[in-house]
């Protein structure tokens, strides 16, 4: 990699999407995060979700672009807003984008006031995001050190189908530490019972989370986060959003679609029923019985080259604090906002609603 000769080489945009929309993106996730944070710990996850969806949509619709929700709150008939196919933005200007949103990733976490919930989204040039159907993805996420190690050792690659011990050995070697020092995040679900046992059998440390495997995935690419691997099946939208961040930060995601009934050990009848319901829609996305089991890598999940990602903390997390509210409409919110040119902004935003109750403190 040549050293940048000028700062102009360093500070640039990947393309029109990043140039036009990166500065505004955190306003969208922060609006959603602040709205959700007022519902923290109130035990009503649906309402927390609703207010964050509304705030995200309202803020997005003030921005000049033509956007289509590709990963959203569900199909049009089940989600009133930010449904798949909804057009957003003012429609003014030349910027056209595909959008992935999760206005409140971790609704239970917010409702219970426990760590790990965020507002998150990505935008890319049309076709830039894999818009999988509403099924799970089996996945493994690792950070940039592992990718470097794989390049140096072409026979040792992370593989979704490899025994867990093999994958964790590679991660441990890449990070120059013992397996016993590796931390694997996985959703605490019955479907992961065997996988959790297998991880434990390697000696690796396990961080079970009740919800929210997206930000832990991003954290694998951030030194000091204390997270090295994310495994298991979770939402496919979450996997694509993770991949957008990982494609910017380095690291890799391997994923494969899996029907929820299959992941959760459903009966043959239930599996057949779900297939009958989902396969026709999957077919419209080019997904058939023949290729549904293909492994998707980071570039397949996010084929785009001009894309942006933002996440704002709602409750506290690995590196995003919870929203602080100070009275008078004053709020403080932490975000990470990134562009595919290779820029990461870690921001600490203070919104002053009432100057007499300044929320500004060091």
Beta bridge partner(s), residue 254: 140
The site map against ligand VTB for 157-196 (x = CB under 6 A) is ------------------------------x-x-------
- Binders of ligand VTB among residues 217 to 246 (CB under 6 A) are 234-235, 238
Choice between 102 and 145, CB closer to Mg ion: 102
- What would the DSSP string read from start to end of 114-153? -S--EEEEEEESTT-S----SSEEEEEEE-HHHHHHHHH-
- Give the range of 38-46, 90-98, 210-218, 346-354 binding ligand VTB by CB under 6 A: 210-218
Q: Which does 98 bind (CB under 5 to 8 A by kind): Mg ion, ligand VTB, none?
A: none
Gap between the Cα atoms of 251 and 139, Å rounded: 13
Among 212, 304, 313, 359, binds ligand VTB (CB under 6 A): 212
- Give the range of 57-65, 161-169, 211-219, 294-302 binding ligand VTB by CB under 6 A: 211-219
Q: Is 325 left (phi over 0), alpha (psi -120 to 50) or beta?
A: beta
Q: Is 86 in the site for ligand VTB (CB under 6 A)?
A: no
Among 18, 30, 86, 102, binds Mg ion (CB under 5 A): 102
Gap between the Cα atoms of 194 and 116, Å rounded: 24
Residue showing tokens 């500070």? 11
Q: Is 112 in the site for ligand VTB (CB under 6 A)?
A: no
The tokens describing 317, both together, are 């997390």
Residue 310 CB-density burial (10 A; 0-12 exposed, 13-18 middle, 19+ buried): buried
Closest CA to 270 of 281, 258, 259, 282: 259
The tokens describing 163, both together, are 């025994």
Q: Is 106 in the site for ligand VTB (CB under 6 A)?
A: yes
Closest separation in Å from C-beta 208 to ligand VTB: 12
List residues near ligand VTB by CB under 6 A.
105-106, 187, 189, 211-214, 234-235, 238
């Amino acid at each position: 990699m040549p050293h940048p000769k000028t700062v102009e080489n360093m500070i640039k945009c990947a393309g029109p999407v990043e140039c036009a929309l990166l500065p505004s993106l955190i306003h969208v996730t922060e609006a959603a995060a602040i709205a959700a944070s007022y519902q923290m710990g109130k035990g009503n996850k649906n309402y927390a979700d609703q207010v964050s969806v509304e705030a995200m949509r309202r803020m997005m619709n003030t921005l000049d672009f033509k956007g289509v929700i590709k990963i959203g709150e569900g199909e049009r008939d089940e989600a009133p807003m930010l449904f798949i196919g909804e057009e957003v933005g003012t429609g003014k200007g030349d910027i056209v984008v595909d959008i992935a949103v999760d206005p409140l990733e971790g609704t239970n976490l917010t409702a219970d006031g426990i760590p790990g919930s965020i507002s998150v989204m990505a935008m890319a040039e049309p076709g830039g995001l894999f818009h999988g159907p509403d099924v799970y993805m089996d996945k493994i996420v690792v950070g940039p050190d592992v990718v470097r190690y794989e390049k140096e050792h072409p026979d040792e690659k992370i593989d979704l189908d490899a025994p867990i011990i093999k994958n964790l050995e590679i991660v441990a070697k890449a990070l120059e530490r013992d397996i016993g020092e590796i931390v694997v995040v996985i959703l605490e679900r019955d479907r992961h019972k065997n996988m959790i046992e297998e991880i434990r059998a390697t000696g690796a440390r396990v961080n079970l989370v009740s919800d929210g495997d997206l930000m832990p995935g991003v954290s694998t690419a951030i030194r000091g986060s204390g997270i090295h691997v994310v495994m298991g099946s979770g939402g496919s939208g979450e996997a694509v959003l993770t991949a957008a961040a990982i494609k910017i930060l380095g690291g890799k995601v391997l994923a494969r679609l899996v029907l929820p009934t299959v992941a959760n050990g459903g009966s043959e009848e239930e599996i057949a029923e779900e297939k009958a319901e989902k396969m026709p829609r999957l077919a419209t996305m080019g997904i058939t019985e023949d290729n549904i089991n293909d492994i998707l890598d980071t570039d397949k999940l996010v084929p785009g080259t001009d894309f942006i990602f933002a996440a704002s903390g709602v409750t506290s997390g690995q590196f995003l604090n919870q929203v602080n509210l100070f009275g008078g409409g004053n709020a403080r919110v932490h975000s990470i906002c990134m562009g595919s040119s290779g820029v990461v902004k870690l921001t600490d935003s203070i919104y002053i609603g009432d100057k007499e109750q300044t929320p500004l403190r060091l």
